[in-house]
Amino acid sequence: MTVSPDNAMTTTDGKAQDHIVKLEDIHLSFGQTQVLKGVNLTVNKGDAVSIIGPSGSGKSTLLRCINALAMPQRGRITVNGTRVDQLTKESERIELRKRVGIVFQQYNLFPHLTVLDNIVLPPTKILGVNRAAAEKLARELLDKVRLSDKANSYPGQLSGGQQQRVAIARALAMKPELVLFDEVTSALDPETVGEVLQVIRDLVRDGMTSILVTHEMRFAEEISDTVVFTENGLIVDHGSPEQIFHTSTNPRIRQFVGGLGARGTVRDGEGI
Amino acid sequence: MQDSSILNTFIAMMDRIGLNYEFLATGYEATIWRDGFITTLYLIALLIPVSLVAGLVFAACLTSGRPFLSAPVRGFVEITRNTPTLVQLMFSFLVLNTFVSNLVGGAQNNPLTPFFWVVAVVGLHIAALHAEAMRAGIEAVPSSMVEAARGMGFSQWQILRHVELPLAFRASLPAIVNNLINLVKLTTVGNAIAVSEITYASIMVWTQRDNVVSLMIVILVFFSAINIVVARLGIWVERKLAVPGYGL
């Protein structure tokens, strides 16, 4: 079982497990607004976990907790041996973030740097990698995301899908232990969604631990080892894609995935 | 004096259209006047980097989110922006400078010259204006981009250095060039505390020669020429730094 809401506390402590991320009883509020109300989630090394659910259910906040961009008021977060909830200093959080890649909806490439420099900057400045080595890796990654010919372009000269692929390459340049994807295709037009999903698909196939917040139900179904359904700051259910998308008895989940068309809304160019 | 025939021809020609440049043929006043130009150019050359560096430091403090850095700078910026530079200069020279003299045991031991006070007061005054322009540029960087940089593991300083400042500088460049053009003109306040820049030197000459208009024409042409160069350089830098496909 990859995800174990509620019973997570009973099975783990002290035992050598291959889980890489473990959230236990996470509570988080912004002022009076309770965003997360006791979330439990375990992700195993090499797995792809998709988090689905309606907007405002706390999906993105959950993701931000994993690399300390948001700090919960209560609960334990463990990322590959690091107790994230206990990191009080910014320097400690930076150490964690070096190991956890994150890709956002709005790409957020640095517009004043070329594609190549966007990918070279983080490893050279944050990890202290020398320029030649970072550039070699950057070119390999650009090859991987099929943008070798765009190395000297500026982000403003690329399409949204191309920018997002560069953003993924930039995250990989830090050689992260896992990558978080926060609705990375939500700002893209249907035609370019496919090219970004293909890059993530390759990554998951290569065994990169990936946690995705997504509205691409078909894609989640295809690549995930586990799908998590969240609503109102809680994990309502979790399980294999088959369980969540097709055999769930929960009426809310059936309504949600049915409404988004778990089957039958194949997009052109998306591929399988 | 070499070229004396050319000079004399020039003086005669100007005299014919009613302009009096006779003093150029004398040694003493001509030297004062020439040194005035050099002092002004020297002030400008010093003040541009001083104001930019101080402005950068002020902007970094203002946007640091740390009250012990931002509060004093905010206070300084408000006082500097809201009071006349001439008054600030006189206050600095007559009050602060006297205070320093008393501290070091007499004016003869005080290393601070009127020239220093012009650089300090005008430099920091323009720095305050630069800082506000740069602050606007820094705050215009989308917060999602800053969060992304933070998420990658950049420190606050690295984000400022590699993300916010490069973008802020581009956005604030037109305002900064405007400030620099003001700076060039503001060097003339030096004459209030006897720094022999060009207006002070000119006053020395025209009180003897009664040739205000003749000298004024040269002063206006001189400052116009410098500021045309400053503005041109600004446009050149703007083009040089333009990011393809980006609005700046």
In tens digits, chain B (248 residues) has pLDDT values of 456 788 899 999 999 998 998 888 888 889 999 999 999 999 999 999 999 999 999 999 999 889 999 999 999 999 999 999 999 999 999 999 999 999 998 888 888 999 999 999 999 999 999 999 999 999 999 999 999 999 999 999 999 999 999 999 999 999 999 999 999 999 999 999 989 999 999 999 999 888 999 999 999 999 999 999 999 999 999 999 998 877 65
The residues, any chain, with a CB within 8 Å of residue B232's CB and separated by 6 or more, are none
A112 contacts B167? CB cut-off 8 A: yes
Residues of A in contact with B242 (CB under 8 A): none
Contacts of A157 in chain B (CB under 8 A): 244-245
Residue A90 at interface with chain B, using a CB cutoff of 8 Å:
yes
> Pairing mode, if any, of strands A33-44 and A178-182?
unpaired
* B247 lies in some domain: no
Most A CBs within 10 A among B152, B154, B165, hence the mutation to make, goes to: B152
Q: How confident is the model at residue A61 (pLDDT cuts 50, 70, 90)?
A: very high
Q: What distance, in Å, lies between the first and last C-alpha atoms of chain A?
A: 25
A228: β partners? A51, A238
Given CB atoms, is A181 within the 8 Å cutoff of chain B?
Answer: no
SS3 A23: strand
pLDDT of the residue at B49 = 97
3 state SS of A230: strand
- pLDDT score recorded for residue B246: 74
Q: Give chain A positions within 8 Å (CB) of B142.
A: 106, 108
Determine contact, residues A213/A227, Cβ cutoff 8 Å. no
Q: Residue written as tokens 């070499």?
A: B2
Q: What is the mean pLDDT of chain A?
A: 87
Q: State the Cα–Cα distance between residues A164 and A160, nearest whole angstrom.
A: 6
- Distance CA(A139)–CA(A151), nearest Å, equals 8
Query: Does the beta carbon of B148 lie under 8 angstroms from any beta carbon of chain A?
Result: yes
Strands of A33-44's sheet, edge to edge? A33-44, A19-30, A74-79, A82-83
Q: Domain of B29?
A: 4-241
Q: How many domains does chain B have?
A: 1
Does the distance separating the beta carbons of A155 and B153 come in below 8 Å? no
Closest CA of chain B from A229, distance in Å: 25
Nearest Cβ partner of B162 from A69, A101, A121? A121
| A159, closest residue in chain B (CA to CA) | B245
CB contact under 8 A, A111 and B153: no
Q: CA–CA separation, A190 vs A101, rounded Å?
A: 25
DSSP for residue B95: I
Q: Of B241, B245, B152, B165, give the one whose Cα is nearest residue A155.
A: B245
Q: Which residue has the higher pLDDT, A259 or B161?
A: B161
The C-alpha of A56 sits at a distance from chain B's nearest C-alpha, in angstroms, of: 18
User: How many other CB atoms are found less than 10 A from the CB of residue A16?
Assistant: 4
Residue A67, chain B, CB below 8 Å: the answer is: yes
Residues 221-240 of B with CB under 8 A from A: none
Task: State the average pLDDT over residues A26-51.
Answer: 93
ipTM of the complex model: 0.83
A122 interaction partners in chain B (CB closer than 8 Å): 152-154
pLDDT of residue A44 exceeding 60, the answer is: yes
Name chain B contacts of A110, Cβ cutoff 8 Å.
145, 149, 162-163, 166
Report the pLDDT value the prediction gives residue A237, as an integer from 0 to 100: 92
Nearest to A216 by CA among A146, A265, A161, A165: A265
For residue A87, list chain B residues with Cβ-Cβ distance below 8 A: none
Q: What is the pLDDT of residue A259?
A: 61
List the CATH number of the domain containing B215. Answer: 1.10.3720.10
Window 158-177 of B, Cβ < 8 Å to A: 158, 162-163, 166-167, 170
Is residue B186 in some structural domain? yes
Q: Looking at per-residue confidence, does A93 or B22 come out higher?
A: A93
Is B245's Cβ below 8 Å from some Cβ in A?
A: yes
Mean pLDDT computed over A189-198? 87
- Residue B41 corresponds to which tokens in the numbers above? 């150019």
- Specify the amino acid at residue B145: M
Q: Is residue B39 part of a domain?
A: yes
Mean pLDDT for the stretch of residues A6-33:
71
Does residue A266 carry a pLDDT above 70? no
In a domain, B122, yes or no: yes
- Distance between CA atoms of B54 and A97, rounded to whole angstroms? 33
Cβ atoms within 10 Å of B141's Cβ, excluding its own: 22
Nearest neighbour of B145 by CB, restricted to A108, A126, A174 = A108
Which CATH superfamily groups domain A8-260?
P-loop containing nucleotide triphosphate hydrolases (3.40.50.300)
Has residue B158 been placed in a domain? yes
Amino acid identity of residue A8, one-letter, is A
Q: What is the dihedral of CA B198, B200, B203, B205, to 10 degrees?
A: -60
